[in-house]
A = this chain, B = another copy of it.
Amino acid sequence: MAALSQKHDVFHAIADPTRRKLLQLLADGEWSVTAISKQFPISRTAVSKHLRILAEAGLVQKRKTGRETRYRLDPNPLCELKQWLSFYEQFWENKLAMLQHYVEIEKHVAEVTDMNKYKKNKQ
């Protein structure tokens, strides 16, 4: 269900370093294609194609405003990645003491997950 076998999934989308940089940039807000392109050493068309791939993976959303097309981050598909990762965390959490910081996050997640059992709808 989460693993819809579309042409461009999240794993593929984030495999490219340029696309990861695009995501990082778009975390900052909404940008037009030209504005984005100025931050990269490749052509506008190349950037545009990367954005299309990110959009197909659901990682960005586009909005037309006049002659501009603006893109913004949509991080939701990264949940699939997180789920995938979570499976492997059991294998490393005992090994790596150096990840103190991120292990802390895990603790939080674990606590929250436990809280699910008696959660009150807060929305």
Contacts and interface: CB of A to CB of B under 8 A. Distances in A.
Interface of A: 11-12, 14-15, 17, 20, 23-24, 27-30, 72-73, 75-76, 78-79, 81-89, 91-92, 94-99, 101-102, 105, 108-109, 112, 114-119, 121-123
Counting from the closest, the 7 A-B pairs by CB-CB distance are: A15-B15, A75-B91, A75-B92, A29-B119, A75-B88, A98-B112, A102-B108
Chief secondary structure at chain A's binding surface: helix
A59 to B, nearest CB: 9
Contacts of A14: 11, 15
B79 A91 contact: no
A119 B98 contact: yes
A75 to B, nearest CB: 4
B82 A102 contact: yes
A94 B75 CA distance: 10
Nearest to A28: B117
A76 B89 CA distance: 9
Question: Of A24, A85, A109, which is in contact with the most chain B CB atoms at under 10 Å from its CB?
Answer: A85
Given A15-B15, A102-B105, A78 B73 contact: no
